[in-house]
Structure 1
Amino acid sequence: MTFLFFFSALGAFNGFLLSFYFAINAKKKIFTNYFLSLLLLVLSIRIVKSVFFYFNPHLSSIFIQIGLSACILIGPFLFLYLKSYSDEKPNWKKHIIPYLAIMTALGIFYPYVEHLEIWKLFIVKAIYLQWFIYIVFSFKYIGPIIQKTNKKSSLKKLEVWFLSIYLGVAFICLAYIVAAYTSYIVGALSFTFVLYLIILLLIFRNSNESTFFNEKEKYQNKEIDKATLLLIDQKIVLIIENELFVNPNFNLEEAAKELKITKHLLSQYVNEILGKSFSSLIKEYRVEKAKRLLETEKNYSIESLGYDSGFNSKSTFFTAFKKITGLTPAEYQKSYSK
């Protein structure tokens, strides 16, 4: 029993340490790490509650309520973390503030200690259901990575990291759901197990590749020679001339194949010479295409023009267009018609 307590409690303790680490890392202008930090924080709070309640059933009901309340934020923080790395800007207030208000109201009007049966029969089940629903919603950002594994394509380090975080949280959620049929400590033990797998990923990542927390790559070759620069200058124009970017799945790897240069060299060129990420460059090309279509095509919906420009969803099209032009597609079309 002592070993069981130590192993499960240690996972929660390390979760707090990692949460603090990512919060500090987020200060380096990597805002998405705040969501990761908060995700680990609420997970750790939930696990601490599980550990101490398992070994001390007479634990203060207020502490139990805090642990269960933290659980309602696990799903939203997972969703916000994954979404923050996509083309979509997450609206964290919509996903956090309502749940904070609900749990505060429940704590005031239906405290755990006075309404134990209501919590067990309804509220706790609703919390786990909400957690599961957010895991389903988050799959939108993991699906393309899983498709790459099915096609036996190599995954980027960042993609491996996202997949690990997602599957880890999903596994912990499942462990808590089945805990009613096995043991209450299963969720805490699963968190410890998943956490140490994540720590191993951190330790063994290749230091000369992009880290899990910063998409800008570090390059061993600090300069591209002039002849190579000229060659890439000539070749990269083909992306525009052949409109390769209208393929919604067009990525750095595909571009390197089309231009017959290495992926590493193309990435270095775009990052260091053009001063942007490859995904940002492609979004700019797509927005320029969309602008031309908005100026000339009047019989098609704005959404369809976005798809014709290479965007894979309405939201990514509207977000990218607004960010680059300062106008929504509808506003741009209207201004051009005047």
Structure 2
Amino acid sequence: MGLEKQILFFFSALGAFNGFLLAAYFVFFSKKKNSDYFLGGLLFVISVRITKSIFLFFNDKIFDIFIQIGLSACLLIGVFLYFYIKASSDNDSKKIENKNKSTYWWIHVLLWLICISIFNYFYSYSENRLLWNYFVKMIYLQWFVYILLSAWELRNELKKLFTKNTKLSESQIWQVNIFFGVLCIWTAYVFGSYASYIVGALSFSFVFYILGLFWFLKRSNSTEVKNKISKDQQLHNLESNKEKATPKPIEKYANKKIDEQEANQLKTRIERIIAEEELFRDPNLKLPDLAEKINVLPHYLSQFLNDNLNKSFPLYINEHRIEAAKKLLLLNDSYTLEAIGYECGFNSKSTFFSTFKKITNYTPDSYKKKYKK
């Protein structure tokens, strides 16, 4: 194998290898959400298909069963893409609908597994290569149908790409990027055969590292913001310590209440970012996390909540969690009360019940019985 082919093999194989590692991470080590499982499954079946392409390109004497497995994996790529998009939806009402529908994902997976198993059993690749050529075209058609279904699920997000005054949330950006990545890989396999068979594998590596670069740059920007906030916080603490060292007693934020116009603008920004990214669903959300999102110092946000809204940060976030819980209680009958609590950001059933009673004067069950009518 010449140097040119060695380089080609390295970059194409590296993408497939990293795809397997990332698939294992999402399945076994992530936050255990449905969207993570679907994304892990998507990466796995794509990596299987890519691996088959790589070895077939560089060694056309590989076992036929290996080719058969690689082609069969394509039947699940579109399925996992579609259900990943559905499970990672941002919209509240859409999320409720998606979770009810996404419970049927196993029917899709089982149906296609049965079909491919029957076909593999009666028509092996080694003895029916001509038939498999037609079958592969059907597989690519099925893959494309699920891409269209995924595009329909993403129709609102795709519209935002061409609208100047609207922005995509972080999770929506990932959905759109992964969608176009899979579309790129499908295009490479369908039309790449006119150029070179390895185009599909290289396209996956290209998409994989573009997404990795996007994630790295985002993390770098996030770290810079956190470092800036940390430095500003240290300066603020030094100034506060100097003030505390003087004998004159002072009050917290004395005479520094944020004026009404500025407070209203800040409140609008906070409400918008919380609604768009559903930050309250994170049970580990802290005040500095929200401050970073709206690009203000933590002590400034604390001042606004305490002096202008007369609320602590935990109470403010819990009110948003309770509002989301109310919607689930009235709109969805398939969730248990405990599941609703976890879905809305509470880390235990007891905390959810006590907070709900404190804010609404009802238990979740009594609230549902009264207002469901």
TM-score bin, normalised by smaller chain: 0.5 to 0.7
- 1:139 aligned partner: 151
Cα distance in 2 for partners of 1:140, 1:229 equals: 41
Structure 1 residues 124 and 277: alpha-carbon distance in aligned structure 2, compared to 1, 3 A threshold = farther
Deviations along 1:221-260, whole A, 9 cap, x unmatched? 496733444489xxxxxxxxxxxxxxxxxxxxxxxxxxxx
How far apart are residue 150 of structure 1 and its match? 1.2
- 1:21 aligned partner: 25
Structure 1 residues 25 and 276: alpha-carbon distance in aligned structure 2, compared to 1, 3 A threshold = farther
How far apart are residue 30 of structure 1 and its match? 2.2
Structure 1 residues 177 and 225: alpha-carbon distance in aligned structure 2, compared to 1, 3 A threshold = same
Asked if residue 226 in structure 1 is aligned to residue 306 in structure 2, the reply is yes
- 1:276 aligned partner: 321
Q: Is the 8 A contact 1:12 1:48 kept in 2?
A: yes
Structure 2: 5+ residue stretches without partners: 90-94, 227-272, 289-297, 338-368
Cα distance in 2 for partners of 1:228, 1:109 equals: 73
Matches within 5 A, 1:1-338: 1-26=5-30, 28-86=31-89, 87=95, 88-89=98-99, 90=102, 91-120=104-133, 122-152=134-164, 153-206=166-219, 207=222, 216=282, 219-220=287-288, 221=298, 225-230=305-310, 272-274=317-319, 276=321, 280=324, 283-284=327-328, 320-323=331-334
Deviations along 1:37-77, whole A, 9 cap, x unmatched? 11000000000000100111111100000101111100000
- TM-score, normalization: structure 2? 0.62
Cα distance in 1 for partners of 2:6, 2:322 equals: 50
Cα distance in 1 for partners of 2:32, 2:51 equals: 30
Structure 1 residues 2 and 29: alpha-carbon distance in aligned structure 2, compared to 1, 3 A threshold = closer
Cα distance in 1 for partners of 2:113, 2:322 equals: 36
- Percent identity (aligned): 39
Cα distance in 1 for partners of 2:79, 2:12 equals: 24
Greater shift in the superposed pair: 89-98 or 199-208: 199-208
Cα distance in 2 for partners of 1:204, 1:277 equals: 35
Deviations along 1:303-332, whole A, 9 cap, x unmatched? xxxxxxxxxxxxxxxxx4334699xxxxx9
Structure 1 residues 324 and 58: alpha-carbon distance in aligned structure 2, compared to 1, 3 A threshold = closer
| Poorly superposed stretches of 4+, deviation over 6 Å | none
How far apart are residue 281 of structure 1 and its match? 5.8
How far apart are residue 4 of structure 1 and its match? 0.7
Q: Is the 8 A contact 1:75 1:132 kept in 2?
A: yes
Of Structure 1 and Structure 2, the greater helix share is in: 2
How far apart are residue 283 of structure 1 and its match? 4.1
Q: Is the 8 A contact 2:75 2:143 kept in 1?
A: yes
Matched residues, number = 256
Q: Is the 8 A contact 1:25 1:33 kept in 2?
A: no
Secondary structure, in 3 states, of the residue corresponding to 1:111? coil
Cα distance in 2 for partners of 1:174, 1:77 equals: 17
How far apart are residue 31 of structure 1 and its match? 2.9
Q: Which amino acid aligns with 1:74?
A: I
Q: Is the 8 A contact 1:32 1:85 kept in 2?
A: yes
Secondary structure, in 3 states, of the residue corresponding to 2:154? helix
Q: Which amino acid aligns with 1:138?
A: S
How far apart are residue 106 of structure 1 and its match? 1.2
- TM-score, normalization: structure 1? 0.68
Secondary structure, in 3 states, of the residue corresponding to 1:151? coil
Q: Is the 8 A contact 1:35 1:80 kept in 2?
A: yes
Deviations along 1:135-159, whole A, 9 cap, x unmatched? 0000123211121121122222111
Deviations along 1:269-289, whole A, 9 cap, x unmatched? 76x3236297x36845xx86x
Q: Which amino acid aligns with 2:195?
A: T
Q: If you compute each CA radius of gyration, which structure gives the higher value, 1 or 2? A: 2
How far apart are residue 12 of structure 1 and its match? 0.5
Secondary structure, in 3 states, of the residue corresponding to 1:59? coil
Q: Is the 8 A contact 2:305 2:311 kept in 1?
A: no
